[in-house]
Amino acid sequence: MKQWLTGAAVAGVLIMTSPISALALVRSGEQMARVEAGEIIDDDLFIAGNTVVVEGTVMGDVYAAGNNVRITGNVTGDVFAAGGTVDVSGNVGQDVLIAGGSLNIRGAKIGDGLTMAGGNIFVSNDASVSGGLIFGGGNVNIDSPINRGVVGGGGMVNLNNRVGKSAYIGAGNLNLGSGAIINGDLVFSGENDPVLAEGASVAGQISKIWPEKMTEAGRAGREAAEGGLKLGFKLWSYLAALLTGTVLLWLLRPAVLALAAQMKINPGRNWLVGMVIMILALPVLFLIALSAFGIPLAVIALMLFLIDIYVAQIFAGVLAGEWITKKLNRPDMHYLAVFAIGLWTPER
C-alpha cells in the first residue's frame, strides 16, 4: 500500500516537476501582508494577502498577489504582481509585469520594461519607464514618457507623452494627445483612424493594418493580455499551493515528510509506479463509468485523482527544497521556508 501511495504522489510530481529558483522570503496574511517602511529584505519576496503593501526595500524580485496590491517602496529586481487593483508608485530597478482589473503606475521609476494587462490601465506623467511598454486592456491612458517602443492593444487608448522608438497599437479608438511625440513609426490597427491633437507628432511613417489582415500590431494586445492572465494565474497557483502545503505540513508534517522520504528510497521503482498510474488512470475511469457502479463513482474517482495530482506538488516542493538547501549548505532553514523555495518553479 505504501508503494502505491508513493507512486500516486510521484504521478503528480511527474506533472509538476521543473527547474527550481533560488532562496526567497515568503510572507502572507489572511487580511494584510506588509513590508513596513524602513524594513529591508535582502532576498526575493513572495507576498500574498487580501491587501498587500510593500513600503520598504526589497533587494531582489517581488512576487505579489492580492485583492489590493500596493508597491510604494524600493525594489532592486523585478516586480510580478496580480490582483483586483495593483498600484506601483515606488522605484523598481528592473522590469514590472502586472495584471489585474485596475492597474496604476503613479510616480514610479522603472529601470527597464513595463508589461500591463488589465481592464483599466493608467500610467501617470510623473512616472518614468526606461525600457519599453507592452500593454493589453480596455481603457488605457499612458501619460508618462516611454524610453523605448510601445506595443499593445485596447478598446480606448490615449497616448500623451514621448515614445523613444516606434509604436505598434491595435485599438478601437487611438488618441495622441498634445504631448505625444513618437520618435519612430506609428503602426496601428482598428476601424477608426487615430486622432492626433495639435502638437502631437510622429517622426516616422503612419501606417494602418486592417483588422482582417493585422499582424504585429493586432496580435500585440492579445498576446499582452494573454501573458498578463498567465502571469496572474501562475502567481495565484503558486500562492494557493503554498497555502495548501503550509496547512498540510503544519497538521501532518511527519506523514508528509515520511512519504517524501519514501519517494527517495527507490526512485526508479516509484517513478515507474507513478508512470503506470498516469497511463492507466483514464482507461480505468472509463471502465468504471461503464460498469454497474456508473458515472457517479467515476466522477468521484476522477476528482480524487485530480486532488492527488494537485497534492503531489507538495511532495515535489519538499523534495526540491531539501535538494536546494543541501546544495546551498543551509540545513538550519525552517521547514516551511524550505517548502516555499522548492515549490516555486519558473514554469508554474
What does the pLDDT look like over 275-291, one tens digit per residue? 555 555 556 556 655 65
Question: Treating both helix axes as pointing N-terminal to C-terminal, what angle do 335-343 and 294-327 enclose, rounded to 10 degrees?
Answer: 110
In a domain, residue 235? The reply is: yes
**Burial group, residue 107, by CB count within 10 angstroms (0-12, 13-18, 19+):** middle
Instruction: List the beta strands (DSSP E) in 20-78.
Output: 25-35, 40-41, 45-54, 57-58, 62-71, 74-75
The C-alpha atoms of residue 30 and residue 33 are separated, in whole angstroms, by: 8
CA neighbor of 238 nearest in space, from 106, 86, 46: 46
In a domain, 152, yes or no: no
- Give the model confidence (pLDDT) of 125-169 as tens digits: 999 999 999 888 889 999 999 999 998 888 899 999 999 999 999
153 sits in which H/E element: strand 150-159
Q: Is residue 255 part of a domain?
A: yes
What is the predicted pLDDT for the residue at 138?
A: 85
State the pLDDT confidence band at 4, using cuts at 50, 70 and 90.
very low
What pLDDT shows up at residue 137? 84
Given this model, what pLDDT does residue 129 score? 96
Domain presence at residue 181: no
Backbone angle region of 264, left / alpha / beta, with phi > 0 → left and psi within -120 to 50 → alpha: alpha
Q: Is residue 282 part of a domain?
A: yes
Q: Is residue 334 in a domain?
A: yes
2 versus 340: the higher-pLDDT residue is 340
Range of the domain at 325: 229-343
Distance CA 91, CA 129 (A): 11
175-189 pLDDT per residue, tens: 999 999 999 999 988
Q: Does residue 204 or residue 323 have the better pLDDT?
A: 204
pLDDT band of 195, cuts 50, 70, 90: very high
- pLDDT at site 323: 67
Is residue 42 helix, strand or coil?
Answer: coil
Binned at pLDDT 50, 70 and 90, residue 17 comes out as very low
60 in any annotated domain: no
Q: 298 lies in a domain?
A: yes
Lowest mean pLDDT among 7-11, 23-27, 216-220, 258-262: 7-11
How many folded domains does the chain comprise? Answer: 1
Cell (9 digits) for 293:
457502479
Rg (CA), the chain: 24
Q: Which of the pair, 129 or 266, is modelled with greater confidence? A: 129
| pLDDT computed for residue 153 by the predictor | 85
Beta bridge partners of 123: 105, 142
Residue for cell digits 517602443? 149
**φ/ψ (deg, to 5) at 198:** -60, 130
Angle made by CA atoms 78, 84, 85, in degrees to the nearest 5: 65
At 315 the pLDDT is 64
Indicate whether this model's pTM tops 0.75: no
